[in-house]
Amino acid sequence: MRLIRAELMKIRTTSTWWIFGLITLGLWGITLLFNYFQSDFLVNPQAGAPTDDPGFAAAQQPINIASNLYTNGQLMGLAIILVLGAIVVTNEFFHQTVTTTFLTTPHRTAVVVAKFVAAGILGLLFWAVTTALNLIVTPAILSGLGLATYLDSGTVWRAIGLNGLAYFLWAIFGVGFGVLIRSQIGATITAMALYFVGYIGAAIFFGVLSDRFGD
């Protein structure tokens, strides 16, 4: 526990986390605007919309629209927390404080585990803040679109819970990148590249499955 508290203090006493927090809030607002227009288009599709497409039909379901809005900001939020997780490790190598850390605690495995836990807590903090904002804003958006809030739906709360798990896991992945690639720039670029390439690849993969098998 002492190691975890020490790692959390290292995060708290640097400006990196709140700078990334402000960036996350800005990206959250931009994403919310995009998701609002997307939701409005799904509820009121214009002429030429692919209404016969299974993927589009699934996205049109009110419960899916609600789930998407309640997890708004996930795409860029996960990328930010991934980078933060990497910086939790690479910062020590960059500022050459890692030697002091390992002299104080010779058991390197314990130090790395503490960094995993601290980064996971940081990821859950970012998730909690964005989720609180989504729970405030989304009911008003859904009401304006003529939809229910769906706060009594298990599907929505499952989506919110899985969103929290995603923040926790990607923060841990970030620490893993930092452990494997000690260069701050190298770890950040590699993590971001794999994240977005993986996202695009997954979107293509599930798009093909949707076209082939429908729902």
Handedness of CA 83, 85, 91, 93 (dihedral sign): negative
What gap in Å lies between CA 166 and CA 162, rounded to an integer? 6
Ordered per-residue pLDDT tens for the chain, 215 residues = 777 888 888 888 888 888 999 999 999 999 999 999 999 999 988 866 776 777 778 888 999 999 999 999 999 999 999 999 999 888 877 666 766 666 677 677 888 888 999 999 999 999 999 999 999 999 999 999 999 999 999 999 999 999 999 999 999 999 999 988 888 888 889 999 999 999 899 888 887 887 777 65
- DSSP secondary-structure letter at 179? H
